[in-house]
């Protein structure tokens, strides 16, 4: 049996939204917001070549395993089970959470207020704010061991979230850069509309269409947990697997509230589809 998506009768974007909906994720809940993949690895070229496989992120691997060095560090963490961790896992942070969603959309209301309330009433330190697509990719794919974030659907259709049209004072980075519009890759020519257009073309490209099922296996499918997840370097702290935890059996109210708080603040694995 071949499905409409396999026959290319629906777009990759629509299929991902469909899977997110099936997995209980929606725009109504920052804690279970639709999750979309990083699809590109090229944020430095003057022009974007969608026929070159090296332009793209490896969709068969989670963000924590995009480089060999980083992958080995997470495997080492899994094998060592550091003393301050209560459970064996590769990642203690999640690829989608309320704060990640609000940080991406911080230049637009009502997300500005949401972000500030999650931060205790203020914007974050400027250097930690979402200010550059390239530096966010480098952090999530290579540089920052506590950052394995993926994307949100807006990266593929909403140019407005990339501009500081409301002129919020987002602060100044240590190198003196004043935060304003999001810095775009050279191939976008500083134009948010061009960025969205090319980014959507990348999502619908032949390369992504041929490999997207591998990412779906990691996020929504059989590589989500169990031995397949261990093998794929794709295991998260047990608290992230909300539907796998029977909170009714947790008698200690303090532990129960800790688990619920953890899930609320740090993210949740989608329901398996």
Q: Write the pLDDT tens digit of every residue in 68-127.
A: 999 999 999 999 875 555 678 999 899 999 999 999 999 999 999 999 998 888 888 888
How does the average pLDDT of the chain come out, rounded? 91
Mean pLDDT of 217-222: 96
Task: Report the range of poorest mean pLDDT among 106-120, 196-210, 245-259.
Answer: 245-259
β partners of residue 151: 36
pLDDT at 212 over 70: yes
Name the band, by pLDDT with cuts 50, 70 and 90, for residue 261.
confident
- DSSP E strand stretches across the chain: none
Q: Which long-range contacts (CB under 8 A, 24 or more apart) does 179-182 make?
A: 179/126, 179/129, 179/131, 181/107, 182/107, 182/130, 182/131, 182/132, 182/133
How far apart, in whole angstroms, are the C-alpha atoms of residue 154 and residue 228?
Answer: 30
Q: How confident is the model at residue 263, as a pLDDT?
A: 67
Which sequence spans correspond to the domains of the chain? 3-266
Taken in order 87, 92, 95, 100, the sign of the CA dihedral is positive
Please give the residue that has the higher pLDDT: either 48 or 120. Answer: 48
Q: How confident is the model at residue 162, as a pLDDT?
A: 98
**Cα three-residue angle 268-271-273, rounded to 5 degrees:** 145
How far apart, in whole angstroms, are the C-alpha atoms of residue 166 and residue 207?
Answer: 37
Q: By the 8 A CB rule, do 92 and 263 touch?
A: no
How far apart, in whole angstroms, are the C-alpha atoms of residue 36 and residue 152?
Answer: 5
pLDDT at 16 over 60: yes
pLDDT at 153 over 80: yes
Nearest alpha carbon to residue 272 among 234, 253, 152, 262? 234
β partners of residue 91: 236
The tokens describing 39, both together, are 């699809």
Mean pLDDT of 48-67: 97
Which burial class, exposed, middle or buried, applies to 263 when counting CB atoms under 10 A from its CB (0-12, 13-18, 19+)? buried
C-alpha distances in angstroms, 127 versus 36, 175, 190?
Answer: 24, 9, 21
Mean pLDDT of 232-242: 89
Task: Report the range of poorest mean pLDDT among 49-53, 112-116, 194-198, 250-254.
Answer: 250-254
Q: How confident is the model at residue 255, as a pLDDT?
A: 75
Please give the residue that has the higher pLDDT: either 19 or 9. Answer: 19
Domain 3-266, what architecture? Orthogonal Bundle (1.10)
Mean pLDDT of 230-236: 96
Whole-number percent of the chain with pLDDT over 70: 93
Nearest alpha carbon to residue 213 among 20, 7, 6? 6
Whole-number percent of the chain with pLDDT over 90: 74
Q: How do residues 34-45 score in pLDDT, each as one tens digit?
A: 999 999 999 999
Q: How confident is the model at residue 89, as a pLDDT?
A: 92
Q: How confident is the model at residue 95, as a pLDDT?
A: 96
Predicted model pTM: 0.91
Residue count (the chain)? 273
DSSP state of 205: S
Residue with token string 């261990």: 230
Mean pLDDT of 233-251: 78
Helices 192-203 and 12-22: crossing angle, nearest 10°?
80
């Amino acid at each position: 049996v071949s499905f409409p998506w396999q026959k290319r009768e629906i777009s990759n974007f629509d299929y991902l939204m469909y899977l997110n909906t099936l997995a209980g994720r929606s725009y109504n809940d920052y804690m279970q917001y639709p999750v979309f993949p990083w699809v590109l690895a090229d944020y430095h070229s003057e022009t974007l070549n969608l026929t070159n496989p090296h332009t793209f992120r490896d969709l068969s691997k989670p963000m924590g395993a995009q480089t060999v060095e980083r992958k080995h560090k997470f495997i080492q963490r899994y094998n060592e089970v550091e003393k301050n961790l209560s459970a064996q896992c590769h990642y203690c942070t999640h690829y989608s959470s309320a704060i990640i969603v609000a940080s991406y959309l911080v230049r637009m209301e009502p997300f500005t207020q949401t972000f500030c309330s999650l931060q205790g009433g203020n914007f974050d330190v400027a250097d930690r704010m979402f200010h550059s697509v390239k530096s966010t990719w480098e952090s999530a794919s290579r540089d920052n061991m506590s950052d394995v974030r993926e994307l949100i659907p807006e990266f593929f259709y909403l140019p407005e979230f990339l501009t500081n049209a409301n002129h919020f004072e987002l602060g100044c980075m240590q190198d003196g850069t004043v935060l304003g519009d999001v810095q775009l890759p050279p191939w976008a020519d500083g134009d948010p509309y061009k960025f969205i257009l090319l980014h959507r073309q990348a999502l619908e490209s032949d390369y992504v269409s041929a490999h997207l099922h591998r990412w779906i296996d990691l996020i929504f499918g059989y590589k989500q947990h169990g031995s397949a997840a261990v093998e794929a370097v794709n295991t998260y702290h047990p608290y992230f697997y909300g539907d796998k935890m029977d909170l009714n059996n947790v008698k200690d109210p303090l532990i129960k509230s800790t688990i619920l708080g953890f899930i609320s603040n740090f993210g949740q694995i989608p329901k398996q589809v």
